[in-house]
């Protein structure tokens, strides 16, 4: 069976951002193509921006029903999206390149002993909550590598997320499929010369907040924040691989690689 034939037999669901532009586009697509309820679909077409795409992917992770996703940009940047075009959608889907994105899993323990587990597609970041700098012990695979990082924060980024907050914090861009993770400090004060590390994706990261009552820290998995954390553990979650579909001329791996030359 060819790729074109396989996609022709799949049912499609439509997920739409509440913005006016996305709603208008959805009305146009519903007049041209047949759709099923998203809960019964073999694949999803998502209309919106990057933030809405992340929201959709997180909902799939929470429901543990993961299907391939093809996004069309009706937002601002659209890094995770394809170009909005209503015509020849079936042909476009038959030609797509599929990319696997494996999220992180954050296990955060708060000062009062509560533990919260959340997925992160882009990054997990620890951030100071007050004007005082955070003091954080950093461990990799159970071994402390920085006894005291004095900083505004620190993050772990996936290749898919390496061009987002990680890049703004002067972290490296990681090619998709590189099986690497970026460990990047945010405005580090001590050690002065440490600018982060690139580590195998099998690595496990541990962060212990030093003096969390005086210097409180929050942990953020993509857009979801847990405040007043005492310890945070981060690792790849191989049980929840996502599949993103892109037009061949708009492929995610090429876009991430070319970000290294952006001016």
Residue ranges for the known binding site are: 50-51, 122-123, 152, 160, 163-168
β strands within the chain, DSSP E: 12-16, 43-48, 69-73, 97-101, 104-110, 115-120, 123-128, 134-140, 143-151, 153-157, 180-186, 197-200, 205-209, 217-221, 224-226, 229-236, 242-246
Q: Which residues pair with 110 in a beta bridge?
A: 229
Detail the residues annotated as belonging to a binding site for NAD(+). 50-51, 122-123, 152, 160, 163-168
Rounded-to-integer distance, Cα 236 and Cα 56, Å: 19
What are the residue numbers of the active site?
A: 50
């Amino acid at each position: 069976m060819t790729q074109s034939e396989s996609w022709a037999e799949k049912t499609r669901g439509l997920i739409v951002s509440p913005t006016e532009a996305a709603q208008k586009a959805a009305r146009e697509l519903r007049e041209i193509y047949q759709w099923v309820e998203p809960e019964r679909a073999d694949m999803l077409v998502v209309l919106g921006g990057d933030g809405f795409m992340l929201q959709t992917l997180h909902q799939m992770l929470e429901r543990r029903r993961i299907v391939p996703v093809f996004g069309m940009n009706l937002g601002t940047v659209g890094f995770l999206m394809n170009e909005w075009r209503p015509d020849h959608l079936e042909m476009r889907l038959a030609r797509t390149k599929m990319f696997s994105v494996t999220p992180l899993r954050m296990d955060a323990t708060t000062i009062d002993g509560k533990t919260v587990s959340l997925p992160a597609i882009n990054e997990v970041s620890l951030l100071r909550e007050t004007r005082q700098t955070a003091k954080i012990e950093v461990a990799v695979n159970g071994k402390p590598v920085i006894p005291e990082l004095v900083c505004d924060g620190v993050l772990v980024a996936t290749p898919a997320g390496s061009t987002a907050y990680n890049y703004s914090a002067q972290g490296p861009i990681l090619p998709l499929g590189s099986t690497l993770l970026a460990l990047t400090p945010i405005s580090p004060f001590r050690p002065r010369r440490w600018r982060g590390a690139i580590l195998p994706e099998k690595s496990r990261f541990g962060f212990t907040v030093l003096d969390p009552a005086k210097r409180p820290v929050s942990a953020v998995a993509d857009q979801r924040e847990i405040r007043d954390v005492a310890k945070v553990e981060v690792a790849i979650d191989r049980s929840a691989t996502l599949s993103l579909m892109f037009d061949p001329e708009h492929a995610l791996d090429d876009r991430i690689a070319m970000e290294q030359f952006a001016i």
